[in-house]
Amino acid sequence: MARYRYPIPPSHEITPRDVYARRRRFMKQAAAVLGATALPGLFPASALAWRDQVSEAEPGRLGTDETLTDRETATSYNNFFEFGTGKEDPKRHAQQLRTDPWSVSIEGEVRRPGTYPLEDILKPHDLEERIYRLRCVEAWSMVIPWVGFPLRDLLRRFEPTSRARFVAFETLHDPEQMPGQRRDILDWPYREGLRLDEAMHPLTLLAVGMYGEVLPNQNGAPLRLVVPWKYGFKSIKSIVSIRLVEDRPVGSWEASQPREYGFYANVNPNVRHPRWHQATERRLGERGRRRTEMFNGYEAQVASLYTGMDLEKHF
């Protein structure tokens, strides 16, 4: 076959990514408006249309200028026990997970409960790219550019009642797709929870992408929680249920090993884990260890949530 060479344009003629994304978003929105006006019902929204928003996400206000973790590392070294206990197991086994279609139930102390397809969950939200530092209980950490939106934006849509004090989450339970659930590692399905004020904090994110792409299955596709000032086990993956409740929920790891995994799971270098020290951590991609920061470096933003609390007792 013949090969053709094309001239490479000078850098000043290349449209910046953010400008291109804004233009593309504008044209899509304009086309949608015109289509809805001229031919209502002829062009129904695609169930996968939200995926285009991930690559077009605008950088968020909250972030860090730290060096990003290499994408290959971030998608190959994971904790997701539904697919195995080894760090490489999730990437190896999660590809069989079917993430389309996907629905999420919003239940409990809300005025508008129901079960909604993922595209309806995401439709009203502008996705943003936010760079979070995410540390995990094994004392390793990453810097990941998540794509998503604040959880509080979703909760407000369903109008929590005055009785709502906590938010409980559940992961999909399907041992056929998730081979790790065939073993009694935990009491499946995986469960986690937050206080309502933690859930409503602008740093608490529902993520659908990372590195400008849709979430890989091993990283919690299609919808996961990101709570960057807490240890990683709080950031539940592959969410199918969000329930607002009056009583404090018990997370899966708290139920399994309450001496090691508390409800709050705030990053606190002053609390010694029963099996390892939390004063330092290992950043993937770096040599040696670094000092662990209180609340994972977000003390100025979130410390007020815990005023007056004994953070060694409420770990």
Q: Are 210 and 74 in contact (CB under 8 A)?
A: yes
The pLDDT tens digits for 205-215 are: 999 999 999 99
Look at residue 229 and tell me if it is in a domain.
yes
Record the pTM. 0.85
Q: What is the CATH number of the domain that holds 196?
A: 3.90.420.10
Residues 36 and 71 grouped into a single domain: no
For 244, list phi and psi in degrees, rounded to 5.
Answer: -90, 130
* Domain span holding position 24: 15-40
Binding-site residues from annotation for Mo-molybdopterin: 78, 136, 171, 219, 224, 235-237
Look at residue 271 and tell me if it is in a domain.
yes
Binding-site residues from annotation: 78, 136, 171, 219, 224, 235-237
Of the pLDDT bands very low, low, confident and very high (cuts 50, 70, 90), residue 138 is low
**pLDDT at residue 36 is higher than 70:** no
Look at residue 92 and tell me if it is in a domain.
yes
Share above pLDDT 90 across residues of the chain, in percent, rounded to a whole number: 73
The whole-number pLDDT of residue 9 equals: 45
The pLDDT tens digits for 215-260 are: 999 999 999 999 999 999 999 999 999 999 999 999 999 999 999 9
The whole-number pLDDT of residue 136 equals: 67
Residues 283 and 198 grouped into a single domain: yes
Of the pLDDT bands very low, low, confident and very high (cuts 50, 70, 90), residue 79 is very high
Own/partner long-range contacts of 273-277 (Cβ < 8 Å, ≥24 apart): 273/137, 276/138, 276/139, 277/139
